[in-house]
Chain A
Amino acid sequence: MKFISPEQIVIYFINFVFIFFLVVALKISYLMIKKFDFSKSTSFQYSLEKRNVLVSTIVSFFIFLKVPLLFYFLFYLDSLAPSIPGAMCAVGVLNSTPYGAYLIIVKVAVLFMLVWWFYINKFDLNTYGFKYTKLKYKFLILISFAIFLEFLLEINLFNNISPEKIVSCCGSVFGKDVKYFSSFLFNLNDNLSLLITVVTFLLLAIFFKTKNYVFYGLASLIFLIVAVYSLIDFFSTYIYELPTHRCPFCILQKDYGYIGYVIYFLLLTGTFYGSSLLVLKNILDNTTKISWARNSFFMIFCYLLIVGFYVVKYYMVNGVWLT
């Protein structure tokens, strides 16, 4: 292991704590899947029901810690940027190794899954006979492996950051040359990505009106991906007011009024609620579905308003479109 800075050591320590709790949770999951039987009234069954409390506390603890930790991680990578030649923000650091792009995706996925688990648990406790117990513990095993994977990727990322190798900054990563991050990008034309985003949003609106929640969830998952693409390809250039600056991270910085935090909050929570309608379709009751769909649609709409506002503002001020 290579240690670069104190922040990294703290991140490792926290990961060790996570792993400790994951081992506890995995052991309980195994017992739950093998032994849980609501019809029995043994003291062992009773103790299993008690342990559910422990696991749900652990998961809430994870959620409360993972959110600030994600921002801390990005902050930290940002602070590393000056010591890596060529890197100007977190993207350069992430892109300096093959693991960075996967790590960010896994981190967001883990966060989504943890919150899903939290809601499954909440609805499970309200059912008679805890119908979803086995399902949710199988899901928890999946989540634990995702967190292990995240830790491994993190170690690999830190070990491969090298202060000698020259990397590219965000402007070129999301520009033309293909390396690591950009290998995820289809070479979308600017206007095409905008068109797809608008079409997906219209689909969302139609499904929302017709209350077709399964398709709404599917569409919001697609929207998450498409929105990130269009943010990189189209909207970010208007926020930076620079046609060559395509970066999903720089909007988090002070120069742009920290607007990125608002944008990502709206986008992630909006698509989270939306996609929950698909993932938790058998678990959610109808009233929750309606309110979540409303929340989700509202947030996605606000997201589009904000990013659209920058485009319109640019046109009002300068009188031309960026191409």
Chain B
Amino acid sequence: MSLEKYESVIGLEVHAQLMTQSKMFCRCPNQFGSSPNTNVCPVCTGQPGSLPVINKKAIELGVRAAVALSCEIHPESVFARKNYFYPDLPKGYQISQYERPYSTQGHIVVRLKSGDEKRIGITRIHFEEDAGKSNHESYGTLVNLNRAGVPLIEIVSEPDMRNAHEAGQYLRALHSILRYADICDGNMEEGNFRCDANISVRLRGTEKFGTKVELKNINSFKFVEKAIEYEIQRQVFAIESGEKIIQQTRSWNSGKNVTEVMREKEQAHDYRYFPEPDLPKLMISSKWFEQIKKEMPELPKEACERFKKAFELSDYDASVLTSSKELAKYFEAVVAHCKNGKASANWVMNELLGRLNAAGREIGDTPVSETQLAALIKKIDSGEISGKIAKTVFEEMFATSKDASSIIKDKGLVQISDPAALESVVRKIIEGNPSQFAEYKAGKVKLLGFFVGQAMKETKGQANPALLNELVKKLLDS
């Protein structure tokens, strides 16, 4: 295998839909799932004579993104028209930004599985409006313009990533930041967070970039990683077998697990960009900028620092728990209900996330709610059940979404903390194991554990461990 001889160079372009009430240039609702062509007006359907007006809220969210991604903000930027014909593009051009975007030169730091951190540069962020949606049916193509004119930011990274994992981590970090700051809801299935990847390979040690291939519209983190991995191998094999890489646009076929050609470079458009004459320059005053900065929601790295301090968590634990806004919120809700940060962290990270990962589910559709998990932790803390029993209970909770108390009741799992009841169990065990008792008495004190274990077994694990330990020792020594 010759893959090691090569190094891949990856840059990502992300289109993130902004969480505004209305569209970028008109007052139609920015809303998913309405009946086709109902969220439309003369402006977003491109009627003659209609004109765009900039949605201030969209600009505010864009500026927020730039702050969150440590970008430079340009007080003066320019909207431009990107001209092309397509049935779901009613004006025959898309309003975007081209030569003078509102923001450039930022970065984010991502954590890799090796434990290292890597800084990925962001070249630029610019505003644009979304196109409509073409639905290709057997009898023809239907156009839905509900999405036409929805506000987007396009975030273009530097070609700083060297493998699929780095690209995946960059995307996850970006997704998390945009979610945290209430900029984009991040819903990939609805197309609210879309990714294109530019990929090339070159021999290790060489400076010059190889010919790049663009992968279009990949709609999950996993697919992005898979598609990039496939594409790197495809390119290396092609080069190794003497072929030349052709500059082209490809798409990911998730059914076949391959990338496929969409169009060659020769078919590329000349978009004839020019400044949008219907809009003045976009001005972002320093006063406005400061205002937006002041009202910034908490970002993942800030949440991480706060978690470390407030809940006495390790660096690693805090970063895992703040890796997504939903998870952080979930965790905080658990702590709020059970008042035990450490235990909450352990339960969320080890039990809940472990099971979610195994089931391929996200925190958003956890079968165990925050209050349910908190109630379970409280039962451990109050001594009602042991930690060990709790794991059994949690397993059941995860499978059935039932409350811990009903599971404990149904299965009779309440911890036995009655000394009299436990004492009779312990006496029975001692009586039933005379030879071990004799050995213990002869000085083999290690056998204490044996008696505890037997007693625990006898109580089906329901004995209060501390009390049991105490009783066993007392009765053996008496």
Partners in one complex: no
Identify the B interface with A (CB < 8 A).
Answer: none
